[in-house]
Amino acid sequence: MTVQLEFLRSILYFSGLGFAELESIKEFIFEKTVDRAEIVLLEGESAENLYFVASGVVKVFKTSVEGKEQILSIVRPGESFNDVPIFDGGLNRVTAQAMGPVLLYGIKRNDMETIVKDHPQISLNIIKVLASRIRHLVSLVADLSFKHVIGRVAKILVEHIGGEMGRGPRLTQQEMAAMAGTAREVVGRSLKELEDAGAIKLDRHRIVITDKETLQKIVEMAY
Amino acid sequence: MAEMPVIEPQKCNGCGLCVSVCICGALVLVNNVITIVKTVECDWCTDCEAVCTTGAVSCPFEIVIQKP
């Protein structure tokens, strides 16, 4: 398989470049195929390469010492990951894992520096990518630090219990996120926290409230 | 048969990301539109919903009280 110029052109990093310039950048790009669940980057290791997803999906996350996972982003075709350590020279701050079969385009750190020096006009594109990354992370930090998201999610569950008369409304994690004013990734984490607290049990497509009293207490603590 | 993720074909752009992340083969593209294959192996991981950018796939939860 060869790196497609049209694909490179669709990547924000290289937006505005002509085919001749993309051809010269192509020389620095290598391909990497990854299987489902394979780890592409491990938190704490040195950062060697910048990656663009050509096909498939990559999950970027951090893991706590207790083994809890917080997804930071889901990287789809045309998007990049590992940008920050490539430019600041630090270690990987996150782990990246393939969610299915994935094709990556990689650029080594030194080669990326050469590309930026040779094509300084892409600097503004890179700033835009990094700025949007900061915007996303600031929003996530605010959700995780200031809002009582777990309480809000607990409240949503209490308010949407199916009654004796039949099924209540069915809610997706996306819908719960919109209701709680947070990101879908935070709802997934909140549901796991509620399960750990013994208030609910995730049973495939059902959220079973196993201890309504505990769930109610979590709601009250948040308001 | 077990509940399956819900598909809204009119929203599907045929990108196939949901198919690529589905571990149990519950999703296939037919004529570039996502289609469900019923399987008992779907464990509601919701990855298909997470990666879909158009809202064509959703994994809704029913909220119930545990029976005594």
Half-sphere exposure of A187 (CA within 13 A, CB side): 23
Q: Indicate whether this complex's ipTM tops 0.90.
A: no
Closest by CA position to B56, among listed B13, B20, B3, B17 = B13
Contacts for A41 with CB less than 8 Å, ≥ 6 apart:
A47, A51, A81, A82, A92, A94, A95, A96
In this prediction, residues B29-56 reach a mean pLDDT of 92
**Global confidence as pTM:** 0.80
* Any A CB within 8 A of B29 CB: no
Interface check for B8 against chain A (CB to CB < 8 A): the answer is: no
Write out chain B residues lying below 8 Å of A188, CB-based. Answer: 46
Q: Which pLDDT band holds residue B59 (cuts at 50, 70, 90)?
A: very high
Nearest to B22 by CA among A74, A100, A58, A188: A100
Rounded Cα gap, residues A59 and A188, in angstroms:
14
* pLDDT value of residue A69: 81
The domain segmentation of chain A, as residue ranges, is 5-140, 147-222
CA dihedral over B50, B56, B59, B61, signed as positive or negative: positive
Strand partners, A142: none
The 10s digit of each residue's pLDDT in B34-43 is 999 988 889 9
Please state which CATH class domain A147-222 belongs to: mainly alpha
- Look at residue A185 and give its three-state secondary structure: helix
What is the pLDDT at residue A58?
95
Specify the pLDDT at position B66.
Answer: 87
Residue B41 near residue B1, CB atoms below 8 Å: no
Q: What is the average per-residue pLDDT within B34-57?
A: 92
CB-neighbour burial class of residue A2 (10 A; exposed 0-12, middle 13-18, buried 19+): exposed
What residues in B contact A162, CB-CB < 8 Å?
62-64
pLDDT at A223: 65
Query: B55 to chain A: which residues are within 8 Å by CB?
Result: 174
Domains, chain B: 6-58 (3.30.70.20)
Give tens-digit pLDDT for A28-40: 999 999 999 999 9
Domain A5-140, CATH among 3.40.50.300, 2.40.110.10, 2.130.10.30, 2.60.120.10: 2.60.120.10
If one counts every other C-beta atom within 10 angstroms of the C-beta of residue A34, the result is 20
Q: Give chain A's residues under pLDDT 70.
A: 1, 146-147, 163-168, 223
